[in-house]
Every structure is written in structure tokens, then in C-alpha cells.
Structure 1
Amino acid sequence: MAFEMALIRRAAAVEVLLRRLLDDRALSGEIARPDRLMAAMRHGVLNGGKRLRPFLVMESAALFSADGEAALRVAAALECVHCYSLIHDDLPAMDDDDLRRGQPTVHKAFDEATAILAGDALLTLAFDIIADEATMLPAERRAALVLALARAAGAGGMVGGQKLDLEAEQAPPDEAGIIRLQAMKTGALIRFACEAGALVAGAPAEDRERLAEFGSAIGLAFQLADDLLDLTADAGQMGKATGKDAAAGKATLVALHGANWARSQLHGLVDQAHELLAPYGEQAALLKEAATFVATRNN
């Protein structure tokens, strides 16, 4: 219950900031913000969602009593990157989905070109948010955050994972290949979310690496749970089409080893995540609950 309330509270704070950042009014240095583009960006971002990644940023920062407003802005930046990835992932050239969080996907609500541009603009907005002096951190910390997010989101992270996922439709990977794909496509941004708290706080490298490892563990758990839900949940429960991966014969660890194996792995990943947080004691209680939630969620 404490975790659920904290997740709602953090999500509400991020929502307020995102609404402000996605206002139609041009910022200093901008010429204009086209109405239809901004509407598409808002549709892609302000349409619900658990805001788990922002929660992880803010809670990992709280371990070190980091500046809450700076952590909130980094959390909002990460959510912009995540939502951009969903907009592009839903396109006909990618996963070709019509529903996202129970609503028409951006290319369905608007058009493909606008959806592509909305995703592009959200990605650049993320770096704008972190680099801005309003994110009241020393310049070297903001630079470190920009670098870490760029690498998590780029060819060696989320985008590269999406490319591997597309290639897997033609040449299914082995187990090691699936793990690499998922660590990049899904895990990289979750790893960044956890690592970012240490970066915001200027915490020692040891803490940064520990939280990154925690993020890697729950990132893999998140994808395993997602693959299980793709088999067992319905579209109403998930807010998007289900069963598509199985119908397409897509290689997943669940398809390779079965649901019972996946559930066993989830337990092991949660235990691993909890062990990584042991040095932080009760301060990490909500992060531990987040790890359990990731593995046991039903949507």
C-alpha cells in the first residue's frame, strides 16, 4: 500500500511538470510551437501510464537526500524519452499498434508524419530539460546525466534494442541474444532511471553502479512479466493488443522456456534486486516494493 500511494504521488508530480513543459507557448530561443505537433506530443505523454521510470529516478535520488526538484525534472525528461519510444514503437513500420494505454496511438489519433515528429520533439525536449539551468545541479552533473541518458536511449541502448527486435522477426535469436535484446530495448532506460538518482545526488561511483545493477535486474524482470502478460492478459486489462508476440512467433524467454520457468526467474530477479539494496536499509523500502511490483503486476 505504501508503494502504491508513493507511485501515485510521484506520478502526479511528474504529470504537473509535464503539462507545464508541453505548453503551446514557445520558450526563450524558440520561434513557435505548432499547435498540432504539441497536441500530438501531449497525446503521447499525458494519456495515463504508471510513470514507473520517473518513480525510480526520484526514489533512487531520495536514497541520498538529493534535490527533489532536480530529480523531478530528470524524471520528467526520462518519461519524455520513454513516451517518444512508445510513439515510434507503435508505428506501422514497427509494431503497428492501434491502441496504447486504452487510447488510439498517436499515428491513429493524428497521422504517421505527425507521430514521427512528436517522438522526435519529445526526445530533444528531454535533453532540453536536463541541460536547462532550471535543473538546479552543477553543470558537470547535468552533463553526466545527458551522457548517460543519450547512451541508454541510443544505438547501444533502447534504439539498438528495437532494431534487434525487428531483426528477430526474420532470424530468431538464441537465449543470449534475447537477453541482450531485452537489456537494450527495455532494460537500458530502467537501468538509467535507477542510476540517475545517484547522478543527481553526486553519489560515489560504487552507489551509481549498485543502483545501475538494481535497474538491470528489474529491467529484465519487467520484460519477463510483460511477456507473461502478453500470453495471459487481455487487451482491456493491458490497454493495448495482446498475443501479438506469440502469434508472430517472436522469440522471448517465455516462448523459449515456458511460463513456469519465467515465474521462477522473476522470483530470483526480485531477490537479486532486494540484495543489491541491502546496504541502504529501510531507506530503500519503496524501491524494494517497486522491484516486487514489477514482477507481479497485472498490466
Structure 2
Amino acid sequence: MTSIDVVAPPRHVLERTRAAVEPVLRAALAELPDETREVVERGLARQDFSTAALVLLAAEAFGDADVAPVAVAMEFAHLHEQLHADLMARAGVWAEFGADRVVSAADALLSLAFARLTKPGVMILNVALMSVVDGYVQEIGMDDETADMSQHLGVAAAKHSSLTAAACELGALAAGASASQAGHLRQFGDDIGLARKHVDDVLAPHDDRRTLAVVAASSANITVDGGRRWCEQQAALLLARAQNHLRQCGARAQAAAELGGLAREVTTARCEPVLPSQPTGRSSTLPVA
């Protein structure tokens, strides 16, 4: 059993990820026309690169393979989904560049992603993307007045867990993990994706009727604050389940610690109150030039 008690600083993990994928990322972007690249670069500026980090850490958990191309592919796939979310919401890059340029950029991202994966990897990513599409289709056809909690959770899982699960599975497989080990990592990513969705909805505006917090409040006849507390509890349970899969997969200790730290950082840690910085005893005033 692998210990995951020692947690590396997640910010360091994300910075290391950006440095590792930068050469592959820049080479890929150079393939794009200027107008398309502008949209993609604007979208990438919003990404925290946690999807790419999951690929790298999942690979480090089992070997020393160079998986930067896979990490970039999954980051592109994640951005593809985000651009379509902007299109659906008529917000974000849609407001800046318009639908035609955003659609072209999203299509280009898929082409770049698939070109950096092996055939088995393409199949895994394709299944994940089909799940995302299915989630959107379910959501479009869902009646807010009659849909129950299980339907909303099904949509959330389809849209928000599939790519994180695929990222973890692809990283593990690329480094030589067994099918069983990769399966545990896939379940880890699946749980983290859904936990992150719960936290996103805790932090979302009160007037968004399709957030899990508002749906929970309506279903249980409680306040929206009560719904948010329920979402926080669910995120904590999902994180605990994810950590259990991490313990069972036989990963290297350091990579497992970093995966556990990153999982917490992108989920439950975002609900914790921000503590004021402690005084150091030194003046923070900068000298005037």
C-alpha cells in the first residue's frame, strides 16, 4: 500500500507541468493559422494545466516515460470542451472572437490532440469526448421542472469526469502500468472530475438554477446554503474515494503524494477560508527610488 500522507506543493506541480510541456505546446501552436492560434492562446491563458499535470503525474507514478505529447493532447482536449462551453453560454472567448473563429479553433484543437496520441490513446480520448457530448445532449433535453438529482448528477459526471479520467489512464498506460493499475488511476480521475464539479457549483452564483447546489436545495427543500454544504460534503467523499484508488494502484510514493495534493488543491481546498498572511516582523514598504 502506498502512503500519500506527504503532499507536495500543488503550485510547484503546476509550474513544473507548464515547463515540461512548453516545447511540445509551442511546436503544436506553430502549426495553426494566426487567427486560430490567437483564439487558442487566449483559451490556454485561462487553463491551470491541471489536466496535463494529471497525465505527467500518472506516468511518474509507474515509470519514466516522456508523456509531454500526451499531456499536451489532453490539455488541448480540455480546452476544446471549454470552447464549446463558451459557445453554449455565449460568453468567454465567444464574446471576443465570435462563433465562427471559436468553432474553427475547437476543431483544430481536436486535430492537434489526436495527432499526438497513439491509436489506443485516440480510442480512449474519443470515448471520453463522446461522453462529454452525451452530457451536453442530456442537458439540452432536460426539463428543469421535472429532472431529478440523479439526472443532474449523470450530466455532471458525463461532462466533467470523462477527460480527467482519460488523462490519468493515458498517463499510467504510457508509463507501463498494468490494466488494473491504470483502472485505479482512471477511477481516481473520474472521482476528482466530479468532485471538482461539486466545488465549482459551491462557488457559482446563486441564480444558476442548474448548479448541483441549487438542485440539491430544491430536491431536499433546504436553503441554497444548505445545498452548497451538501456539495462540499459530496466533494469530500469523492476526494476520499479517489485517494483510496490512489492507495490501491501501487504507485510510486512521491508521484502518489503529488497526485493526492493536486487532487485536493483543485477540489476541497478551494472551499476553505483564506487565512490572512502572518506578519513577519519586517516592514513590507518598498524603498522609494
Give me the TM-score of the superposition, normalised by structure 2: 0.80
Q: Deviations over 1:254-291 (max 9, x none)?
A: 53141122222222222211111114362310111122
**Given that residues 236 and 268 in structure 2 are in contact (C-alpha distance below 8 angstroms), is that contact kept between their aligned partners in structure 1?**
no
Matched, 1:14 2:21: yes
Query: Relative contact order (C-alpha < 8 Å, sep 6+): which is higher?
Result: 2
User: Are the aligned partners of 1:57 and 1:194 in contact in 2 as well (CA < 8 Å)?
Assistant: yes
Flag the 1:251–1:49 CA change in 2: closer, same or farther, 3 A.
closer
Flag as ranges the 4+ runs of structure 1 deviating above 6 A: none
8 Å Cα contact 1:145/1:199 also seen in 2:
no
Q: Which runs of 5+ in 2 are unaligned?
A: 1-7, 218-226, 272-289
Cα deviation, residue 178, structure 1:
1.6
Q: Per-residue displacement from partner, 1:28-49 (whole Å, max 9, x unpaired)?
A: xxxxx5332232233223x142
The change in CA–CA distance for 1:208 and 1:247 in structure 2 (over 3 A counts) is same
- CA distance in structure 2 between the partners assigned to 1:250 and 1:3 by the alignment: 30
Which residue, out of 197, 214, 233, partners 1:264?
Answer: 233
Q: TM-score, normalised by structure 1?
A: 0.78
Size of the alignment, in residue pairs?
252
> Which of 203, 209, 227 is the aligned partner of 1:249?
209
> Sequence identity, in percent?
31
TM-fit CA distance, 1:224: 0.3
- C-alpha distance in 2 between matches for 1:281 and 1:19: 30
How far apart are the structure 1 equivalents of 2:83 and 2:11? Answer: 26
1:186 deviates by: 0.6
Within 1, Cα distance between the matches of 2:143 and 2:211?
8
Q: Bigger radius of gyration, 1 or 2?
A: 2
1:226 aligns to 2:200 (yes or no): yes
Is 2:253 aligned against 1:282?
yes
Letter in 2 for 1:83: L
Q: Tell me, in whole angstroms, the C-alpha distance in 1 between the residues paired with 2:85 and 2:145.
A: 19
Once residues 85 and 183 of structure 1 are traced to their aligned partners in structure 2, the CA distance between those partners, rounded to angstroms, is 14
| Displacement after TM superposition at 1:253 (Å) | 4.9
Assess if the C-alpha contact under 8 Å between 1:165 and 1:181 holds in 2.
yes
Q: Judge conservation of contact 1:210–1:276 (CA < 8 Å) in 2.
A: yes
Counterpart amino acid of residue 280 in structure 1 = A
Q: 1:194 to 1:216 in 2, by over 3 A?
A: same
Aligned residue in 2 for 1:65: 63
**Correspondence for 1:84 among 80, 99, 107:** 80
CA deviation vs aligned residue, 1:182-201 (integer Å, no higher than 9, x gap): 11101000111111122212
1:135-168 C-alpha deviation (Å, 9 max, x unpaired)? xxxxxxx2111100010012xx111112222333
Partner AA of 1:35 in structure 2: D
1:35-73 residue CA offsets vs partner (Å, 9 max, x unmatched): 32232233223x1421111000110010111412xx111
Residues 89-108 of structure 1 mapped to structure 2, 5 A cutoff: 89-91=85-87, 94-97=88-91, 99=92, 105=93, 107-108=94-95
Counterpart amino acid of 2:85? D
Does residue 147 (structure 1) correspond to residue 141 (structure 2)? The answer is no
> Is structure 2 residue 175 aligned with structure 1 residue 201?
yes
The separation in 2 between residues aligned to 1:249 and 1:2, in whole angstroms, is: 35
| 2:283 is aligned with 1:296 | no
Q: Does 1:174 align with 2:148?
A: yes
Alpha-carbon distance in 2 for matches of 1:126, 1:214: 22
Distance 1:67 1:89, change over 3 A: same
